Every structure is written in C-alpha cells, then in structure tokens.
Amino acid sequence: MSLLAIGAAIAVFTGIGAGIGIGIATKAAVEAVARQPEASSKIMTLLILGGALAEATAVYGFVIALLMILTLK
C-alpha cells in the first residue's frame, strides 16, 4: 500500500508542472500585449489554448492517481 501511495502522489505532482507552465505562459502573454496591444486578441487566444493544454496534463495526472488508488488495492 505504501508504494501505491507514493505512486499516486507522484502522479498528482503533475499539477505543479501545469501551474509553473501556465505562470510562464501568462508572463509571456502579458509582456507581448505590453509590446503590441493591437495583437492582444490573438495573444489571448493562444494563451487560453496553451493554458487548456497545460491543465489537461494536470487532470490526466489526477485521473491516473485516482485510478491507481481505486483499482490497485
């Protein structure tokens, strides 16, 4: 059971990577809008798309952790 808990904890840590990635992407988008305000709609569209993809990795990690806990008992 202890190795299962360790594996689930590692799978949940994908949320940390997603948070860091979204933070870096947001920083870059804010800097890009500051340089070129006329391109803000395109930049925001790409930011939302990138944020969704980064969050998907966190959700996948959470689902894997749940599957490990619920099916490998």
Residue 52 tokens, joined? 């969704």
Classify residue 22 as left (phi > 0), alpha (psi -120 to 50) or beta.
alpha
Q: Strands, E, within 1-73: which ranges?
A: none
Helix, coil or strand: residue 65? helix
**Is the pLDDT score of 55 beyond 70?**
yes
All structural domains of the chain with their residue ranges: 2-71
**Within 10 Å of residue 52's Cβ, how many Cβ atoms?**
10
Helix, coil or strand: residue 13? coil
How much is the average pLDDT of 48-55?
A: 90
**Is the pLDDT score of 45 beyond 70?**
yes
CATH code at 2-71: 1.20.20.10
Quickly state the pLDDT bin for 36 (edges 50, 70, 90). very high
Helix, coil or strand: residue 72? coil
**Is the pLDDT score of 8 beyond 90?**
no
Predicted pLDDT of residue 1: 67
How much is the average pLDDT of 14-41?
A: 92
